[in-house]
Chain A
Amino acid sequence: DAGVTQSPTHLIKTRGQQVTLRCSPKSGHDTVSWYQQALGQGPQFIFQYYEEEERQRGNFPDRFSGHQFPNYSSELNVNALLLGDSALYLCASSLVGTAYQETQYFGPGTRLLVL
C-alpha cells in the first residue's frame, strides 16, 4: 500500500521565480492538505483540497495556490518566490468522512531553497 509521495525531494530556485510541487495521496484517500515547515518550527497549514476545490486556507498570501486533479493528486504553486519561502513543504492526505476525526498522513516533503 503506497503511502503519500511527493516530488521533487529537493529544489533550488532564485528570488522571483515560480515553483510547482507535487503530491500523490495515500491509496484510497481523497483529501490533500499542504503545510509549510520553516527550519526549527512546526508545520503551518497552507490549504486543503477536496473534490478539486480549495475548501479552507491558512494565513498565506495569494502567491500560494494549488490544484487537485480528478485522481486526487495535488500541486502546490508558489509565485514570485521570496527568501522566506525556503522551507520543507509537506503534503498530507486523508479520507473525508467524519471530518472532525479524520487522520492526516504525511509525505516525506519537498525541501525548497530560495537563493
Chain B
Amino acid sequence: AQSVTQLDSHVSVSEGTPVLLRCNYSSSYSPSLFWYVQHPNKGLQLLLKYTSAATLVKGINGFEAEFKKSETSFHLTKPSAHMSDAAEYFCVVTSLGVGGYNKLIFGAGTRLAVHP
C-alpha cells in the first residue's frame, strides 16, 4: 500500500532564509508524487509534480523538490522564504485502485510559519 509521512508537523523560518519540508513515501511501484499548498480558508493549490521524468522538479513560486528513490524521499525546498509562503503544505502520493485509476494519498501536512 502507498503511504506518505511528513516528518515535521510545524516548521518555522525567518523571511529570506531557506525552507526545507521533509517527506518520505512508501510505494510498491514507481509513484507519482506531488506537493500541494493550502492557504488559510482556501482550497489546495498544486506546487509541483514528479512523474519519473526528471528527479529534480521545479514548481511555482520558487519551490522545487528532489525525488530520491534510494531514500524514498521527496523533500520540498525553497532558497529564500517569503511571508506569503506561510501556509499548510501537503506531500501526496498516487495510489492505483481497481481498474488502474489513481487516487491521492495525503500526508498529515506541515504548517510553515515565516517570521519577519
Contact = CB atoms under 8 A, between A and B. Distances in A.
Interface of A: 4, 33, 35, 40-45, 48, 50, 55-56, 58, 90, 92, 99-109
A16 B96 CA distance: 34
Contacts, number: 62
Interface string B97-111: 111111111111100
B43 A42 contact: no
Interface residues of B, number: 26
A55 B43 CA distance: 24
Contact of A45 (B100, B104, B107): B104
Nearest to A31: B101
A56 B43 contact: no
Contact of B46 (A44, A48, A103): A103
B45 A106 contact: yes
A5 B72 CA distance: 35
